[in-house]
Structure 1
Amino acid sequence: MPDFPYVNARVRAMRARLLDSGRLEELLAAPTFDAFLQALANTPYGADLQEALTRHRGLAAVDEALARNFHATTQRILGFADGRPRTLIEAFLRRWDLANVRAVLRGKHTGRSPEEIAASLWPAGTLGEVALRELARQPDIPAVVGSLEALGHPFAIPLAEGLGAYAEMRDLLALELRLDRFYAGHVLQLARGGGHNETVLRELVQAEIDALNVKTALKLARLAPDAPAEPRAPGREAERLRFFIPGGALTTEELFLLLSHPATLEQGWRALRVRGFPVAHPPEDLTAFEKTLDQLLARGAARLYLGDPLGLDVVVGYLALKYNEVVNLRLIARSKALGLPRELVRREMVLV
């Protein structure tokens, strides 16, 4: 049964195919979109790009090439593993299942076409390209949930439980919150135990939950600048707590309530800092703050590549590096298609 020393040895060999900073600069310096395509064709993404160009043109071809390459990477790593290592790797990959299922739900809720929905999906987790396209082809959200049930995917459980309320109220947010809570609990359940690998996975998910709760709480506080000075007004706590995701290492219901009300935001932030949150002051610019949090999470995950050479660390770190590379390449591709200045694009890139 392959264990992490075997898996990590194979992953380290794959690490050599990531693009170095010089190659990224070369792609960023391409004067036109066509020049960018030529440069990308001379990278490990070249074969996927050539195949994608037989079906698509322009950005659609780049997006498909990058998505296929990333999916092949995740499946290759899963192919190295078995038993408990595979279970933990699959649990880490659930984050992409979550993003894809959420994208399908939103697409169906807003009436987007199957082609539009499929173009926004990134097969990387346990839901592959065929399964995701099948979900995108479903006529409505109940049919999407039925397809997930047929696939035996655990996300069908919370969605099926919320279908009645969705049919009555058309409240997509409530359905998404059910999904988010289930994802957090599901992965944390898989990460139970005191072993090193379980701790790595658990801390990653808890950091994601804490970041999401802080972002949400700040948005709620901004949406209610003229809220009553008494944040404990009857009914208001319950309304805010419907947005809270349990399971974080730092954020509790009490802290969420403090952060989500203008009158207690500063008090809540002091308590958050005492618990170890890395940002010193409540932000003025929420967009910039959210980007900073996302960068901290990405860099924290990428640093795990240099962690325990016999544990989950190497796989998580490598996949974080690979995903970051793909995101940066998509950004560069769009900048070339739109003719954006190089320095503007460089500022938007996340370098881990």
Structure 2
Amino acid sequence: MIGLGRKRGNYAYATARVKAQKSLLLTKDNYPKLLMMDLNEIGRFMGETQYKVEMTELASQYSGVDLIELGTSRNLARTYRTIIGFCTGELKEMIASYLMRWDVWNIKTILRGKHSGATQEEILEDLVPAGILDEEYLKGLLALDGPSEVLDALRKKGGFGVPEDVVATFEKSGTIAPVEDYLDKIYYVKLQDAILPNTKPKKLFLTFIEREIDVSNLRTLLKLKQAGLPLDKVRPYFIEGGRYLNVKELSRLAAIDSFDQMVDELSKLPFYDDIKEGLDKAKRTGSLNDVMLSLQKYLTKEAESFSLLYPLSVLPVINYIIRKKVEVDNLRIIARGKASGMDPDVIKNLLVI
């Protein structure tokens, strides 16, 4: 846990602030209009919304898809850090722990960039300082010489150290996959530790995280199984703590001979109906795009449902955090689709609305 104390937290104030911010999100009616715009028109539209500050700041340096992607990233980071800032007590601890996923994202981005020889400027553009580690600290990591120096610096930062045996495996193998795998797993361990399930809303929050782990593991299983990897290569990537898919069950599924047979076994999942069409398409075409999208829609729907049950709890805050990320993803998908000349109907099918 982050150690921010166990005072109850300012639930009424925080949920009121989040409700006000949620009202600024794009509506379903906005998306058909955006799909008909070109990149310049989308940029101007965003300049009249909650993205105005970032779009204005970046307009002199960037344009088109780059402006939209950087503008949305900076706005997302500012929004999330604002939420951490106005929450207190146990609520702040839970929200900060949930948003540590962005610290993991940024650490992995820096390590990958250093490992591949990318410039500091290239890496910086991909960072989203939306967690505990602020932009100044991340820039300090960027200034270091290589992955080993970054890992040494993180070891001195509470909560982000990577064990020596994992570092040794990285240095011996020449791939950062062992470090990335450790960071993904320890994130969920710390997050679940930060949620004390002593009330119904917090129990529901923990349930949601367990379902999120299920979705993460299922994505991993589908991708690696489709690639034809054997069980011993797939198993290390599974994360403990899922609600319906523990590591033993995931290993059983990974050991099934064919991809299609494994997919048939997923019909036993409680949320199978939410992903059935995507799974059927994966069997027919070999593409996982639809099932990955349906998994995201399933999580988004669950977060919305939970938040309505307890309006003065951590759940509406988490729901807004998720909805905000979905909006940013949708805007980026539209921008990239427009930049590559995709048909609006094709782009529409990629959105979570």
- Picking from 264, 267, 270, the partner of 1:276 is 270
SS at match of 1:176: helix
Aligned to 1:218: 222
How has the CA–CA distance of structure 1 residues 335 and 243 changed in structure 2, closer, same or farther, with 3 Å as cutoff? closer
- Determine if contact 2:307/2:315 at 8 Å carries over to the other structure: yes
Letter of the 2:316 partner, please give it. Answer: V
> Which deviates further from its counterpart, 314-323 or 52-61?
52-61
Q: Which amino acid aligns with 2:108?
A: R
Letter in 1 for 2:30: R
Secondary structure class of the residue paired with 1:88: helix
Go from structure 1 to structure 2 and tell me whether the alpha carbon gap of 1:84 and 1:349 turns closer, same or farther (over 3 Å shift).
Answer: same
| Structure 1 residue 309, shift from structure 2 partner | 1.0
Match of 1:307 among 306, 309, 317: 309
Q: Letter of the 1:299 partner, please give it.
A: K
Match of 2:189 among 170, 185, 194: 185
User: Matched residues in 1 for 2:224 and 2:331: separation?
Assistant: 33
Aligned match of 2:327: 325
Partner SS state of residue 118, structure 2: coil
- 1:232 alignment partner in structure 2: none
Letter in 1 for 2:159: P
Aligned 8 A contact 1:304 1:316 in 2:
no
Residue 11 of structure 1, aligned match among 10, 13, 18: 18
The 2-side partners of 1:294 and 1:109 are apart by 30
Q: Is the 8 A contact 2:170 2:177 kept in 1?
A: no
> Higher mean Cα deviation, 162-171 or 83-92?
162-171
Answer whether contact 2:293 2:350 (CA < 8 A) is retained: no
Tell me whether 1:164 sits opposite 2:171 in the alignment. Answer: no
Residue number in structure 2 paired with 1:348: 350
Q: How far apart, CA to CA, are the structure 2 residues paired with 1:308 and 1:110?
A: 46
Q: Which amino acid in the other structure matches residue 347 of structure 1?
A: N
Unaligned runs of at least 5 residues, structure 1? 226-235
**Superimposed CA distance per residue, residues 40-87 of structure 1 (whole angstroms, 9 cap, x where no aligned partner):** 212221222011113333333222221221122112222221111100
Residue 274 of structure 1 and its aligned partner are, at CA, apart by 3.9
Residue 37 (structure 2) pairs with residue 35 (structure 1): no
Q: Residue by residue, what CA displacement relative to the aligned partner does 1:219-273 show, whole Å, maximum 9, x if unpaired?
A: 4433438xxxxxxxxxx76554322211111222321222112338778667654
Q: Aligned residue for 1:70?
A: 76
> Is the alpha carbon distance of 1:218 and 1:64 closer, same or farther for their aligned partners in structure 2, counting shifts above 3 Å?
closer
1:207/1:248 contact within 8 Å kept = yes
Q: Determine if contact 2:151/2:161 at 8 Å carries over to the other structure.
A: yes
Quick one: which of 94, 104, 107 aligns to 1:101?
Answer: 107
- Tell whether 2:243 aligns with 1:241: no
Query: Per the alignment, do residues 269 and 163 of structure 1 end up closer, same or farther by CA in structure 2, a change over 3 Å counting?
Result: same
Give the Å deviation of 1:89. Answer: 0.8
TM-score, normalised relative to structure 1: 0.86
Does the Cα contact within 8 Å between 2:185 and 2:240 map onto a contact in 1?
yes
Separation in structure 2 between the aligned mates of residue 217 and residue 58 of structure 1, nearest angstrom: 36
Q: Is the 8 A contact 2:231 2:255 kept in 1?
A: no
Deviation at 1:128, TM superposition (A): 2.5
CA deviation map 1:98-157 (0-9, x unaligned): 22222222222222222222222222121233333333333211122233234x241224
Judged with a 3 Å threshold, the aligned counterparts in structure 2 of structure 1 residues 249 and 72 are, in CA distance, closer, same or farther, namely: same
Aligned AA (1:79): G
- Matched to 1:36, the amino acid is I
Q: Distance in 2 between matches of 1:22 and 1:287?
A: 24
- For residue 159 of structure 2, the aligned residue among 150, 154, 157 is 154
- The answer to whether the 8 A contact 2:238-2:247 is kept is yes
Q: TM-score, normalised to structure 2's length?
A: 0.85
Q: Say whether residues 1:204 and 2:208 are aligned partners.
A: yes
Aligned partners of 1:255 and 1:272 also within 8 Å: no
Which stretch of the first structure deviates more once superposed, 20-29 or 115-124? 20-29
Matched residue, 1:145: 151
Q: Does 1:116 align with 2:110?
A: no
Gaps of 5+ in 2: 1-6
One-letter identity of the residue aligned with 1:342: P
C-alpha distance in structure 2 between counterparts of 1:58 and 1:264, whole Å: 44
- Cα offset, 1:294, TM superposition: 2.3
Q: Classify 1:161/1:198 alpha carbon distance in 2 versus 1 (closer, same or farther; 3 Å).
A: farther
1:310 alignment partner AA: L
Matches within 5 A, 1:259-274: 259-263=253-257, 273-274=267-268
User: Compared with structure 1, are the counterparts of its residues 26 and 251 closer, same or farther at alpha carbon in structure 2 (3 Å cutoff)?
Assistant: same
**Structure 2: which amino acid aligns with 1:23?**
N
Match of 1:334 in 2: 336
The answer to whether the Cα contact below 8 Å between 2:226 and 2:259 also exists between their aligned partners in 1 is no
Which residue of the other structure, out of 86, 89, 102, is the alignment partner of 2:95? Answer: 89
- The answer on 1:46 being equivalent to 2:46 is no
Mapped partners of 2:170, 2:136: distance in 1: 27
Deviates more, 1:239-248 or 1:79-88: 239-248
- Which amino acid in structure 2 is aligned with residue 89 of structure 1? I
Aligned alpha-carbon RMSD (Å): 2.6
Which residue of 1 is the match for residue 252 of structure 2?
258
